[in-house]
Amino acid sequence: MYTIQVIDHRDGKPVEYKKVGIVYDGFFGGVTQDVRTDHRGEAHFDYKNGEGRVIIDGQTRWKGYLEGRVVVYI
């Protein structure tokens, strides 16, 4: 389980209602269902930790190991 927090890089404020999805890397990869960010800019995922990409509104915005809290600036 992990949380993706989306922050506006210009003012440092959380971004609400962004569509966030995960694409896992590797042979046993896969994709998650999209989750919308809440008023804190957070999208919560109840999936396994692992290497993957954070997709926000259809664009890859972050790549790395997904666990705990990942903050993505857009």
Residue % of the chain over a pLDDT of 70: 100
Distance CA 51, CA 27 (A): 11
What is the reported pLDDT for 18?
97
What is the reported pLDDT for 48?
87
Q: Does pTM top 0.85 for this prediction? A: yes
Write the pLDDT tens digit of every residue in 12-33: 999 999 999 999 998 878 999 9
What is the reported pLDDT for 6?
98
Phi, psi dihedrals of residue 4, rounded to the nearest 5°: -105, 125
CATH of 2-73, one of 1.20.1110.10, 2.60.40.10, 3.20.20.70, 3.30.160.20: 2.60.40.10
Burial string for 22-42 (b: 16+ CB within 10 Å, else e) reads bebeeeeeeebeebebeeebb
Task: Identify whether the C-beta of residue 50 lies closer than 8 Å to the C-beta of residue 66.
Answer: yes
Distance CA 56, CA 22 (A): 9
Where in the chain are the domains? 2-73
